[in-house]
Amino acid sequence: MTAVAPALHTLMYMASIPFTLAALATSAVPGLTVFGVREHDEDPQFAEAVVVSEDAELLVRVPRTQAAEVQQSATVLGLAALTEGPRGRLPFAVPETLGMTRAGETRAVVMTLVDGDRFDAADLSDDALLVEPIAEAIAAIHNLPLSVPQGGGLPVSTAQDLRLAATRLIDRAEATRMLPETVLQRWQRTVEAAELWDFAPTTVHGSLDADQFRVSEDRISGVIGWAELAVGDPAADLAWLYAPGSDVFEGVLVRYSRLRNAGSLAHTRTRAALYSELEVARWLLHGAEAHDQSVVDDAVAMLDRMVGVGGPLSMAFAASQERTPLRESEVAALLQETPAVTSHLSETAAVEALDEDRMFGNETDFIDPLPDPDGEPAPAASPAADDEEFAALRADTGVVPDFDLAELELDLGAKSGTASAPAPTPTPGGAHPPRDAAGPRDASAPLSVDDQLTEPYSDDELPGGAARPTKKPWSR
């Protein structure tokens, strides 16, 4: 027993009276007017009462044990992380903390009451009306942004963190020497398969089971118990569905995968089956640490029933190792994981680049004509074509040029040195005339080395003439 146990015991005797809890509620919530109160015995770890106010029913809770006090504190933190934005994305009601007050060595917490019908997981079937609402509720939780638990200072775990946590739990169970070898090997084989732990953690409830759901008219009207809200493995929130049977689990998983990108269903199925069996290991460790032999015996009996029986984990693990074709939902999930390729160009830049490519890459008007492979020069532009161009220009613009095109071409040719000249007279034997002969040299004939040399300038021809001082290359 802890040091606060006697005070807690005295307080619990007093807090068992609903009117005492109602008085604590008025202290925790300023301005609260109580119109009625009734007992509420949902969780034996707490002294509880429902207080009826003017416009709502409120739940008042005082923990009976220190473990319950820790759980209550975690619940308050979890609900604080679910601010108005995340709550608006959930298709069900979530409790809201309204206030708290000191109650002896512990504290009383007042929150809104999320009421509704309850169901037993054993009563579920694969075609039950609740299968679809359960899948929708779980998918909605997992679709919450990771910033929800991160911003609330709640635990954030990677896939490898969760794999290591499962390994440590198995090692602790093995240390009790009450774990059957067959079961141990099955668990170890699952945590050692690296591909099973390649997943993206999501926002998870952390402690989902049938007790956390509230039902109204065949739909999930509320979810409670947010003490373990965190970033974790989505398969952990699905593990409890193995209790009513694999058919129920498959029914929820298929519907769940249609609502969000669940990754590999085979891997999710295997990890969920492992978490379901590891609950027995937790029960065994709880009994061993509490020295409760009845709990230990119960856990050992459950482990013995798992020996020699394939069970969901063995079947799920075997299926995950087979190269079976992907389902349509799994293909869609993979396509959603493919990153979109975003161009670094803006819309305007992309259009300009397209225009440049079309103009300078495809339009032949901007491409120089290729030389004729036979060495023949390209035909000269036809004067008739030029006349047609001027006629088109005149028709389009109404401007009549005041110059003659032929004279303009001759003038430009003379200035550039490319004006046409009479062809040289060939010498006998077809040889070209000498360079100093009258008339220009044939432009098509190659220059000799001597023809390419120029006469050097004398010192008298240079600026300064003979008066320019002579400077030797090595002088300074």
CATH number at residue 24: 3.30.200.20
Claim to verify: residue 102 and residue 132 sit in the same structural domain: no
Low-confidence ranges of the chain (pLDDT < 70): 1-16, 309-310, 314-476
| Encoded amino acid at 182, one letter | T
Claim to verify: residue 76 and residue 176 sit in the same structural domain: no
Yes or no: say if 116 and 222 are a contact pair by the CB < 8 Å rule: yes
Claim to verify: residue 146 and residue 84 sit in the same structural domain: no
Claim to verify: residue 101 and residue 206 sit in the same structural domain: no
Q: 461 in a domain, yes or no?
A: no
Among 89, 112, 135, residue at a domain's last position: 112
Q: 409 in a domain, yes or no?
A: no
Yes or no: say if 24 and 12 are a contact pair by the CB < 8 Å rule: no
Neighbours of 416 (CB within 10 A): 8
- The full length of the chain comes to 476
Burial 286-317 (b: 16+ CB within 10 A, else e): ebbeeeeeebbeebbeebeebeeeebbbbebb
Q: 191 in a domain, yes or no?
A: yes
User: Both tokens of residue 104?
Assistant: 């002896």
Q: 388 in a domain, yes or no?
A: no
Q: How many domains does the chain have?
A: 2
Nearest in space to 15 (alpha carbons), one of 51, 59, 50, 64: 64
Q: 413 in a domain, yes or no?
A: no
Claim to verify: residue 102 and residue 145 sit in the same structural domain: no
Confidence (pLDDT) at 438: 47
Confidence (pLDDT) at 451: 65
User: Mean pLDDT, the chain, as a whole number?
Assistant: 80
Q: 433 in a domain, yes or no?
A: no
Give the Cα separation of 159 and 198 in Å (integer): 7
Among 65, 87, 112, residue at a domain's last position: 112
Confidence (pLDDT) at 101: 96
Dihedral in degrees, nearest 10, Cα atoms 312, 318, 324, 328:
30
Does pTM top 0.75 for this prediction? no
Claim to verify: residue 96 and residue 213 sit in the same structural domain: no
Q: What is the CATH number of the domain that holds 191?
A: 3.90.1200.10
Confidence (pLDDT) at 129: 93
Claim to verify: residue 129 and residue 266 sit in the same structural domain: yes
Yes or no: say if 192 and 84 are a contact pair by the CB < 8 Å rule: no
Confidence (pLDDT) at 313: 73
Claim to verify: residue 86 and residue 134 sit in the same structural domain: no
DSSP secondary structure string, 241-296? GGSS-HHHHHHHHHHHHHHS----HHHHHHHHHHHHHHHHHHHHHHHHHHT-HHHH
Claim to verify: residue 193 and residue 290 sit in the same structural domain: yes
Q: Which residues contact 68 (CB under 8 A, 6 or more apart)?
A: 43, 45, 46
Q: Which domain holds residue 258?
A: 121-335
Classify residue 328 as left (phi > 0), alpha (psi -120 to 50) or beta.
Answer: alpha
Claim to verify: residue 89 and residue 133 sit in the same structural domain: no
Confidence (pLDDT) at 338: 59
Q: Which residues contact 324 (CB under 8 A, 6 or more apart)?
A: 266
Among 112, 147, 167, residue at a domain's last position: 112
Q: 125 in a domain, yes or no?
A: yes
Confidence (pLDDT) at 448: 66
Claim to verify: residue 169 and residue 190 sit in the same structural domain: yes
Claim to verify: residue 134 and residue 250 sit in the same structural domain: yes
Q: 374 in a domain, yes or no?
A: no
